[in-house]
C-alpha cells in the first residue's frame, strides 16, 4: 500500500506559526523505518504492508505530540494488494504518458 500523510501540531505557541521542527521529528521516524518513502513540501509518502505503514504513521504522529497541545493528521491510502514499487512506478507511468502524449491508464 501507498500512504500519503501530513502530520503537524497546533497550539505550538510559536509566533511565526512554523512547524518545521515537529515535521522534522516525524520525517526522522519515517526515514529510520527502512520503508520506501518520499517527502515533499506538503506530504510524506511511504510504501509497505498495511501494518508496517500504519505503525510508522502512528510513531511519526507520536513524535509530533510534544510540539503542541494537539496534532492534526491527514492521510490518504492507495491499497493495491500484490503490488510493490508503486511509489516510483506510478510516477514513471505518468511521466511516460506525458512524454508520449497518451492518456494515463486508470491504474495510475
More reliable by pLDDT, 28 or 108: 28
Does residue 13 have a pLDDT over 90?
Answer: no
pLDDT tens digits, 51-61? 999 999 999 99
Q: What is the pLDDT of residue 14?
A: 73
71-105 per-residue burial string, b: 16 or more CB within 10 A, e: under 16: beeeeeeeeeeeeeebbeebeeeeeeeeeeeeeee
Question: Domain 2-100 carries which CATH code?
Answer: 3.30.70.930
| Total-model pTM | 0.85
Instruction: Give the pLDDT band of residue 105 (cuts 50, 70, 90).
Output: low
Question: What residue segments make up the domains of the chain, in order of their start?
Answer: 2-100
**Coil, helix or strand at residue 78:** strand
Q: Residues, the chain, total?
A: 108
**Which of 18, 45, 19, 49 is closest to 30 using CA atoms?**
45
Amino acid at each position: 500500500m501507498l500512504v500519503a500523510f501530513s502530520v503537524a501540531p497546533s497550539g505550538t505557541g510559536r509566533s511565526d506559526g512554523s512547524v518545521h521542527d515537529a515535521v522534522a521529528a516525524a520525517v526522522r521516524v519515517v526515514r529510520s523505518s527502512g520503508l520506501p518513502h518520499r517527502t515533499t513540501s506538503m506530504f510524506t509518502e511511504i510504501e509497505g504492508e498495511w501494518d508496517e505503514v500504519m505503525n510508522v504513521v502512528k510513531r511519526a504522529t507520536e513524535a509530533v505530540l510534544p510540539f503542541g497541545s494537539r496534532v492534526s493528521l491527514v492521510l490518504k491510502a492507495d491499497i493495491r494488494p500484490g503490488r510493490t514499487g508503486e511509489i516510483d512506478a506510478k510516477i514513471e507511468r505518468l511521466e511516460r504518458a506525458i512524454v508520449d502524449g497518451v492518456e494515463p491508464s486508470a491504474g495510475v
